[in-house]
Amino acid sequence: MLQKPNPRYYTDDHEEFRRSVRRFIFKEVEPYANDWDEAGEFPKDLYKKAADAGLLQVGFPEQYGGIECDSFYKVILFEERAWGGSGGVVSGLFSHTIGAPHLAMAGQDSVKSAVLPKILAGEKIAALAVTEPSGGSDVASIKTTAKLKGDHYLINGSKTFITSGMRADYLTVAVKTEGENGPEVSLILIDANSPGITRSPLKKMGWWASDTAEIFFTDCRVPVENLIGKEGEGFRLLMKNFNNERLALAAASCGYAQVCFHDAYQWAKNRVTFGKHLSERQVIRHKLVDMATKIEATRAMIDDLASRLDAGELPFAQIAMLKNFSTQTFQFCADAAVQTLGGMGFMRGTRVERLYREVKVMMIGGGSEEIMKDLIAKRLGF
Ligand SMILES: Cc1cc2nc3c(=O)[nH]c(=O)nc-3n(C[C@H](O)[C@H](O)[C@H](O)COP(=O)(O)OP(=O)(O)OC[C@H]3O[C@@H](n4cnc5c(N)ncnc54)[C@H](O)[C@@H]3O)c2cc1C
């Protein structure tokens, strides 16, 4: 944190929560993040530990074991997670934050009661499966089908790039159902261990500690009660959660940018070249100032938009601007941090080296930069 949180938005309770998240991250994640990333996975008991610390429940209904709260708690959670220095660990650990909200919002009570408490207790893992090999940006063009056959749907198709796809017990899957006016997007909760499902892991540039999978559905039977909302409501439900998801992504990006600033600053204070500390060089000081400026601007946008969401506004364009701005801030800070650390910034095991490799996914997932710009132009009316 470069500057104290703005007291207009953050209460003592928020700050107590911030301290508890940070304690958890520094005790349970940060010391192991590098080893887990190199190993390509993190231990499954981390879900239970995160649930015991009250982190998995944030933002979910109390009725199912969640903790209802304002957007600032979510901002704090996503920002503070960054101190672990591994997007891979936390994107896997918190995949339910994209995999379970639609169920909580519009699922049948019987399904919610059976599934949500286990996910929020860290006993089961949830993932969201929208993207397909033929494309992720154009959600309306997905090809996976759900055909109604009496008391169940028959699912056929495939999904790709799915975070926690290998480990997940439950998948919220975007499918095409047959509507009166032709195929329409629907959401359905699928038990990931059902017959007819096969999964294979994918290797990637960063986020090594999280699993990312391709998932195939062949005549997979799913009970009709697992439909989330009504047939044809899938697109609306996905859009409904996008503002929250993008605010969370922005808070995470801002958090990673702060970690980059922190590590660059510490290095610059200690490293001596040509008889002086790097931090005494104007070029390096200006680099740090540019990082700090972008972080403060991102933080101001986050606070403003979190309060507007809590007030019931739907600032789609501004949230999309924030999503792009925050990921660009992260990209700038990761690049500046690696440059400041010099050769050490390029070494495996250095935190900013890992973060540098993790920037791109933030600019692609949750709505890519280009898609955000199209949305902004449309919302602003040009
Ligand atoms: C590590 C990782 C984890 C992921 N986790 C998940 C997950 O858990 N669940 C899930 O469903 N998906 C997940 N995704 C997928 C992610 O959401 C998609 O990659 C993203 O939506 C983009 O889709 P795509 O890769 O198919 O690219 P495409 O949609 O094919 O787009 C390719 C490029 O073209 C650009 N583009 C597309 N259309 C236009 C246009 N009209 N005008 C201009 N430019 C355009 C895009 O911005 C992008 O740069 C993950 C991806 C990664 C890399």
CATH of the domain at 369: 1.20.140.10
The active-site residue out of 231, 245, 353, 358 is: 245
pLDDT at residue 177, rounded to an integer: 98
Q: What average pLDDT score do residues 105-109 get?
A: 98
Contacts of 14 (CB under 8 A, 6+ apart): 5, 72, 73, 76
Q: Which of 326, 352, 344, 342 is closest to 261 using CA atoms?
A: 352
Q: What atom in ligand 1 is closest to the CA of residue 135?
A: 26
Q: Label residue 2 by pLDDT band (50, 70, 90).
A: low
Strand-pair category, 170-179 with 126-129? parallel
Q: What atom in ligand 1 is closest to the CA of residue 207?
A: 1
Q: Are residues 248 and 223 in the same domain?
A: no
Q: Are residues 251 and 210 in the same domain?
A: no
Q: Are residues 115 and 134 in the same domain?
A: no
Q: How far is the CA of 366 from the centre of ligand 1 (A)?
A: 8
Q: How far is the CA of 365 from the centre of ligand 1 (A)?
A: 6
Q: Are residues 220 and 290 in the same domain?
A: no
Strand-pair category, 182-191 with 126-129? unpaired
Last residue of a domain, one of 86, 120, 154: 120
* Protein residue with its CA nearest to atom 31 in ligand 1: 137
Q: Tell me the residue range of the domain where 356 lies.
A: 236-379
Q: What average pLDDT score do residues 351-358 get?
A: 98
φ/ψ (deg, to 5) at 105: -75, -45
Last residue of a domain, one of 171, 198, 231: 231
The pTM (predicted TM-score) of the whole model is 0.97
Q: How far is the CA of 221 from the centre of ligand 1 (A)?
A: 28
Last residue of a domain, one of 172, 200, 231: 231
Q: What atom in ligand 1 is closest to the CA of residue 127?
A: 8
For the stretch 206-242, pLDDT in tens is 999 999 999 999 999 999 999 999 999 999 999 989 9
Q: Are residues 107 and 21 in the same domain?
A: yes
* Residue 313 lies inside a defined structural domain of this protein: yes
Q: How far is the CA of 132 from the centre of ligand 1 (A)?
A: 9
Q: What atom in ligand 1 is closest to the CA of residue 134?
A: 26
* Protein residue with its CA nearest to atom 1 in ligand 1: 361
Q: Which of 102, 371, 376, 82 is closest to 251 using CA atoms?
A: 82
* Residue 332 lies inside a defined structural domain of this protein: yes
For ligand 1, mutation pick of 166, 368, 376 (most atoms within 8 Å of CB): 368
* Protein residue with its CA nearest to atom 21 in ligand 1: 136
Q: What average pLDDT score do residues 350-374 get?
A: 97
Q: What average pLDDT score do residues 331-339 get?
A: 98
Average pLDDT across the chain, whole number: 97
Strand partners of residue 227: 188
For ligand 1, mutation pick of 95, 143, 161, 217 (most atoms within 8 Å of CB): 161
For ligand 1, mutation pick of 131, 239, 246, 357 (most atoms within 8 Å of CB): 131
Decide if 370 is catalytic.
no
Q: Is the pLDDT of residue 1 over 80?
A: no
Q: Which of 290, 296, 291, 250 is closest to 79 using CA atoms?
A: 250
* Protein residue with its CA nearest to atom 25 in ligand 1: 136
* Residue 337 lies inside a defined structural domain of this protein: yes
Q: What atom in ligand 1 is closest to the CA of residue 95?
A: 8
Q: Are residues 219 and 241 in the same domain?
A: no
- Ligand 1 site: residues with CB under 6 angstroms? 127-131, 135-137, 161-163, 204, 207, 212, 361, 364-365, 368, 370-371
* Protein residue with its CA nearest to atom 17 in ligand 1: 365
For ligand 1, mutation pick of 98, 130, 137 (most atoms within 8 Å of CB): 137
* Residue 5 lies inside a defined structural domain of this protein: no
Helices (H), 195-346: 234-270, 282-310, 316-341
**In the chain, what percentage of residues exceed pLDDT 70?**
99
Q: Are residues 283 and 375 in the same domain?
A: yes
Q: What average pLDDT score do residues 173-179 get?
A: 97
For the stretch 311-330, pLDDT in tens is 999 999 999 999 999 999 99
Q: Are residues 182 and 199 in the same domain?
A: yes
pLDDT at residue 282, rounded to an integer: 98
Number of structural domains found in the chain? 3
Q: Are residues 311 and 354 in the same domain?
A: yes
pLDDT at residue 4, rounded to an integer: 83
* Protein residue with its CA nearest to atom 45 in ligand 1: 370
Q: What average pLDDT score do residues 187-196 get?
A: 98
Q: Are residues 317 and 255 in the same domain?
A: yes
For the stretch 247-295, pLDDT in tens is 999 999 999 999 999 999 999 999 999 999 999 999 999 999 999 999 9
Q: What average pLDDT score do residues 182-187 get?
A: 97
Q: How far is the CA of 94 from the centre of ligand 1 (A)?
A: 20
* Residue 151 lies inside a defined structural domain of this protein: yes
Residue found by looking up tokens 């009570």 in the block: 109
Q: Are residues 33 and 144 in the same domain?
A: no
User: Which DSSP category does 27 fall into?
Assistant: I
Strand-pair category, 212-223 with 152-163? antiparallel
CATH of the domain at 23: 1.10.540.10
Q: How far is the CA of 154 from the centre of ligand 1 (A)?
A: 26
Q: Are residues 219 and 248 in the same domain?
A: no
* Residue 205 lies inside a defined structural domain of this protein: yes
Q: What average pLDDT score do residues 161-182 get?
A: 97
* Residue 1 lies inside a defined structural domain of this protein: no
* Residue 6 lies inside a defined structural domain of this protein: no
Q: What average pLDDT score do residues 127-155 get?
A: 97
Q: How far is the CA of 7 from the centre of ligand 1 (A)?
A: 37
Q: How far is the CA of 331 from the centre of ligand 1 (A)?
A: 18
